[in-house]
Amino acid sequence: MTINTLAKGGCHREQMACFRKMEKVIVAMQDPDMGMKMRNQRLLITVIPHAMTGHDIIAWLTHKYRISEEESLHLGNMLVKYGYIYPLKEPRCLVLRPDESPYRFQTPYFWTSTRWPASELDYAIYLAKKNIRKQGELMEYEKERYSLLHKRINHTWDFVVMQAREQLRASKQRRKADRIVLECQEQAYWLINRPPPGVNNVLDTGLERPNNFSCRVTLNSDYYKREIEACRKALGRNRVKSSICLEGFLKYSEQYLNHDPIMQGCLPSNPWISDDTAHWTMNAEIVPVPTRLRVERWSFSFMELLNDAMGRREFMTYLEKEFSAENLYFWQACEDIRHGESSKIVEKVEDIYKNFLAPGAARWVNIDSKTMDKTLEGIKRPHRFVMDDAQMHIYFLMKKRDNDPKCSKITLA
Amino acid sequence: MAAEKAEMDALKKECDGLRAQIEAARKAVNDGSMSAAASGVASVGRVQLKLRKTLKGHLAKIYAMHWSADSRQMVSASQDGKLLIWDCFTGNKLVAVPLKSAWVMSVAFAPSGNLVASGGLDNICTVYNIKAASPKTLRELDAHTGYLSCCRFLSDTEILTASGDTTCCLWDLETGKQKVIFTNHIGDCMSLALSPDMNTFISGACDSLAKLWDLREGACKQTFSGHTSDINAISFFQSGNAIITGSDDCQCKMYDLRSDQEVICYQDASLNAGVTSLALSSSGRLIFAGYDDFNCHIWDSLKGEKVGVLSGHDNRVSCTGVPDDGMGVCTGSWDSFLKLWN
């Protein structure tokens, strides 16, 4: 027994798969031969059979599944939290106590998986019964919910009261012991399906999302016109062959395999495991000597080199030797505009023009005339991405240099 | 009335025709499958990660978590109305941020480590300065007409949000105003992820589509279909050329951006629960996907096989995250605990 909901798109999505697993355990516990030993519970003058102590439950779980006591306690607690076993002494405290406290199995009629979801009507009948049976027996929160339900399903209220009376009458004809058991079972069921305020609702399945799309966006002719435009653009897109792309993923995973601590571990040790922060110290942003793995990563792609503060420093040293350091300074200044504060954009763009683009500038960068014209035009109305074309041009210029064997010799030295 | 309907039908027909052409163009470049390409790759075997720490402190369901760029601090959000910032190495709580609205659904850490943002059913994205003596509200970004499902910082001055009102939005934190609104989805946006080069971002929504957006142009550049239910989680493959999605239809999929199509689907007949969250190991080889069945299952991204499971939570796994240095994975659950594994 479990709960299968028909999700959107028609696939069956299992809610609360844990029920299936817990029910297996419960059935095993009630096995006449290998199951739990039952005792009688004494309630003043009434004797209620088929009770068991918390201690017995834990002992049985430990023995049957060959697990530690700690895990048995955890598992037993889950059985209580989800309503398969309920406490007899303090019904509102849904916790498994590893002592002589008495517990009982919930009847399959009241398994949460059997009656899912719990219906408002049933809850109303239950509260009505409690109210009729003993005036003032409802708790504060139950009284509130009762009056809320009275408003919400007012049209069937006669039915609710009639059902409540009928069920009370039927139960009076039962033996006292059976009546008490039934009341306990019902109470346990509702403590889980309608928990008191402040108690964690274990059956919560989250927000209900609107099923109907068009309540948010109207699928009218404007929408389709926009879609057609978008599709036309998308159709003209350049698509790369799958085989080439897949090769790319394989190569990437392979390259970075040694750099993946979960797959290959890391040296000197993974701080999470060894509690030693040496790895982090050795790989801090600026260190006297970068680790071998770190330098290896710089050779994977130019972006890796540029994204690492020390990599940039090494590259800058190389560029200075080649008298082309202005390129990297320019690139860094452009990055600063792209990711920095909007209020400083105008100021930064002016600085870049003065230092890198103006004729005779101290750090003049060599950009082709077409890009230069476009950039100078854009500077008249500066925005975050105004330097993008120039930055891209310089990036590729630097990348060519990075591919120069002279450069890699210097960085990997 | 009839003329309008005829026009709509004609437009719909044209739209469907174009979509079919796009599908044909995709098929034309599809000259190899991932399983064929990965057949020569060594299997990763059974991946067994151990539970290293359990972070206790929240009093109600944990809805979201996000690692800091320093790979050591992490922020988590719970419906007990608090954001907690943890030092995951020591397990200590560093800062507690009380929220105005307890119905939080998303949280984000700024790359600088100075700010965190959160939002949820209040439709507002609130940004806090956590470096002040006590957490101070920096901005309240209030313009969405639906719940805030996800938020991500680009820097200390810009933040992206995804909302149940079907739009994503880029905000300027200095002015607190919207800069670009990304509209194209027809269902609630549930998640978003920023590309490694920060030029584009992807979003997954309840219309079962994943879309790639250009931050500069403000337009949707690519749309990926294939899922049959809400996409709850989305992430970039580290190379920036692929995206991974997780959905309520119990499947995860990888879509390649350059060939513009789905390359592999991660599904298992025995897995009958929706995917709530996902994260990749730093080489991209392992996918950690959190499911409704209380577990986080581990997939081999290249071979498409389930290679492990992280069991230990007592309720749905709602959020998963791998820090930038890839040391391990953190799972957060509705059972109010966060667990660190590696």
Q: Is the pLDDT of residue A304 over 90?
A: no
How far is A327 from A366, CA to CA, in rounded Å?
Answer: 8
Contacts B227 to A, Cβ<8 Å: 9
Residues in contact with A208: Cβ distance below 8 Å, sequence separation at least 6, in sequence order:
none
Closest C-alpha among A78, A111, A117 to residue A1:
A111
CA dihedral B143, B145, B147, B152 (to 10 degrees): -40
Contacts B33 to A, Cβ<8 Å: 242, 246
B263 with A280: Cβ contact below 8 A: no
| pLDDT at res. A90 | 84
Q: Is the pLDDT of residue B69 over 90?
A: yes
Integer CA distances (angstroms), A149 to A163, A168, A221, in order: 15, 20, 44
Q: Take residue B23 and report the two structure tokens written for it.
A: 């599908």
| pLDDT at res. A219 | 77
Q: Is the pLDDT of residue B239 over 70?
A: yes
Beta strands (DSSP E) in B88-147 are: 92-98, 104-109, 115-120, 124-129, 136-142
Q: For residue B304, how many C-alpha atoms fall within 13 Å in the half-sphere facing its CB?
A: 18
| pLDDT at res. B8 | 87
ipTM of the complex: 0.89
The answer to whether the beta carbons of residues B282 and A262 sit under 8 Å apart is yes
Q: Tally Cβ neighbours within 10 Å of residue A275.
A: 11
Strand partners, B182: B168
Q: Tell me the percentage of chain A whose pLDDT exceeds 90.
A: 28
Q: Is the pLDDT of residue A205 over 80?
A: no
How far is B257 from B110, CA to CA, in rounded Å?
Answer: 26
B231 phi and psi angles, rounded to 5 deg: -90, 115
Q: Which of residues 211-270 of B touch A (CB under 8 A)?
A: 216, 220-223, 227-230, 237-239, 241-242, 248-250, 256, 258-261, 263
Q: Specify the amino acid at residue A184.
A: C
Q: Is the pLDDT of residue A221 over 90?
A: no
The answer to whether the beta carbons of residues A62 and A56 sit under 8 Å apart is no
The answer to whether the beta carbons of residues A158 and A133 sit under 8 Å apart is no
The answer to whether the beta carbons of residues B190 and B149 sit under 8 Å apart is yes
| pLDDT at res. B36 | 87
Residue of A nearest to B335 (CA): A202
How far is A265 from A122, CA to CA, in rounded Å?
Answer: 56
Domains of chain B by start residue, with CATH: 47-341 (2.130.10.10)
Q: Tell me the percentage of chain B whose pLDDT exceeds 90.
A: 85
Q: β-pairing, B124-129 with B115-120?
A: antiparallel
Helix (H) or strand (E) holding B321: strand B317-321
Mean pLDDT of chain A: 85
Q: Which of residues 22-81 of B touch A (CB under 8 A)?
A: 22, 25-26, 28-34, 37-38, 41, 44, 49, 52-53, 60-61, 71-72
Closest C-alpha among B204, B262, B329, B206 to residue B23:
B262
A338-374 tens-digit pLDDT: 888 888 899 999 999 999 988 888 888 888 899 999 9
Q: What angle do the packed helices A388-403 and A369-379 form, to 10 degrees?
A: 140
| pLDDT at res. A12 | 60
Q: Shortest Cα distance from B333 to chain A (angstroms)?
A: 12
Judged by DSSP in three states, A273 sits in helix
Q: Is pLDDT larger for residue B90 or for residue A322?
A: B90
| pLDDT at res. A43 | 64
pLDDT mean over A376-394: 90
How far is A209 from B187, CA to CA, in rounded Å?
Answer: 9
Q: Is B146 on the interface with A (CB under 8 A)?
A: yes
Confidence bin at A413 (pLDDT 50/70/90): low
Q: Which of residues 370-399 of A touch B (CB under 8 A)?
A: 385, 388
Confidence bin at A200 (pLDDT 50/70/90): confident
| pLDDT at res. B206 | 92
Strand partners, B321: B330
Q: What is the pTM of this model?
A: 0.89
Integer CA distances (angstroms), B208 to B16, B228, B232, in order: 17, 6, 9
Q: Is the pLDDT of residue B183 over 90?
A: yes
| pLDDT at res. A298 | 85
| pLDDT at res. A405 | 67
pLDDT mean over B223-252: 94
Mean pLDDT of chain B: 93
CA angle A16, A18, A24 (to 5 degrees): 135
Of A11, A18, A263, Cβ closest to residue B281: A263
Q: Is the pLDDT of residue A116 over 80?
A: no
Of B34, B186, B229, Cβ closest to residue A217: B186
The answer to whether the beta carbons of residues B148 and B181 sit under 8 Å apart is no
pLDDT mean over B64-76: 95
Convert B84-105 to b/e letters by CB count within 10 Å (16 or more is b).
bbbebbeeebebebebeebebb
pLDDT mean over A73-83: 91
pLDDT mean over B191-205: 95
B87-109 tens-digit pLDDT: 999 999 999 999 999 999 999 99
A213 with B208: Cβ contact below 8 A: no
| pLDDT at res. A36 | 84
Q: What angle do the packed helices A157-172 and A120-133 form, to 10 degrees?
A: 60
Q: Which residue shows structure tokens 């978590």?
A: B65
| pLDDT at res. B280 | 96
Helix (H) or strand (E) holding B246: strand B242-247
CA dihedral A161, A167, A170, A172 (to 10 degrees): -80
